[in-house]
Amino acid sequence: MLPSNDEYEITPTGLQEIFAEENSANVRLIDCREEDEWAICRIDCPGETDTELIPLSRFAAEAPPKLIDETRPVVVYCHHGMRSMNATMFLRERGLKNVWSLAGGIDLWSTQVDPDVARY
């Protein structure tokens, strides 16, 4: 279950629980790190949904048109959670309410959920 719209973050274990649900394909996972970081590692969504790369350096130009579908919740992540919180705030300020930042980013995901995801 996703956090309320009053909250801005979801924990790695919370996201893992959502991925375990049948409707997890509905969640969009956005990686806002840069391409060189993406090449090192990423969080893979289960099923048919792919993680999308929208680097924070291009986020303002690329994200709003791509994320116009308010019916699908969005989880944004980065390395430690700072950039993804900025991206989450940016999208919420533009009216998207079903957006959360992954607390602790991919680094915490690696330590709490999937140790096969490389740490850097």
Mean pLDDT for the stretch of residues 20-35: 85
Residue 78 CB contacts under 8 Å (≥ 6 apart), including other chains: 31, 32, 33, 56, 84, 87, 102, 105, 106
* Superfamily classification of domain 9-112: Rhodanese-like domain (3.40.250.10)
User: How confident is the model at residue 33, as a pLDDT?
Assistant: 98
Examine the pLDDT at 66 and tell me if it is beyond 90.
Answer: no
Question: Rounded to an integer, what distance in angstroms lies between the CA atom of residue 5 and that of residue 119?
Answer: 30
Examine the pLDDT at 42 and tell me if it is beyond 80.
Answer: yes
Residue with tokens 């993680």: 51
Split at pLDDT 50, 70, 90, the class of 1 is: confident
Predicted structure pTM score = 0.92
Residue 89 CB contacts under 8 Å (≥ 6 apart), including other chains: 8
Examine the pLDDT at 32 and tell me if it is beyond 80.
Answer: yes
More reliable by pLDDT, 70 or 5: 5
User: How confident is the model at residue 70, as a pLDDT?
Assistant: 75
Integer CA distances (angstroms), 41 to 12, 59, 67, in order = 16, 20, 23
Examine the pLDDT at 117 and tell me if it is beyond 90.
Answer: yes
